[in-house]
Amino acid sequence: MKTESKTDTATLMRRFSDAFQRHDPTLLNDLVADSCVIENTTPAPDGSRHEGREECLALWSRIATSPGQFQEEAIDVYGDRAIIRWRFRWGEGEQDSVRGVNIMRVREGKIVEAMGYVKGK
């Protein structure tokens, strides 16, 4: 099995993050593997599980086009894995935002796993 290079994974994660910052889910089409699995941040306490490319794209499309703005705080890459730290804002004040993290895994240039977590209030 091919091991992803840090550069390939970093590029993929920047493209992924860009789709949410631009509110353009079409940018995700080439990034998601057929076998992708997402563990979403909601509903509490454990989130929902989404399996397969179409289901994952549908979820991420809804998130990418929702009102508000994602701000990327950092992307850290470890071979075929990455951690994306972000803040989502739906208003002007700090109380109108939440910080979170996605733990991602890549195989053969596509996202195969994404686990999302948010800081609680």
pLDDT digits (tens, 9 = 90+) for 21-74: 999 999 999 999 999 999 999 998 899 999 999 999 999 999 999 999 999 999
In a 3-state reduction of DSSP, which class is residue 92?
coil
- The verdict on pTM exceeding 0.85 is yes
Residues of 71-95 as b/e, b for ≥16 C-beta within 10 angstroms? ebeebebeebbbebebebeeeeeee
Q: What is the DSSP letter of 44?
A: T
Residue of higher predicted confidence among 7 and 96? 96
pLDDT at 80 (0 to 100)? 96
pLDDT digits (tens, 9 = 90+) for 69-112: 999 999 999 999 999 999 999 998 888 999 999 999 999 999 99
Instruction: Report all structural domains of the chain as residue ranges with CATH numbers, in order of start.
Output: 6-118 (3.10.450.50)
pLDDT at 4 over 70: no
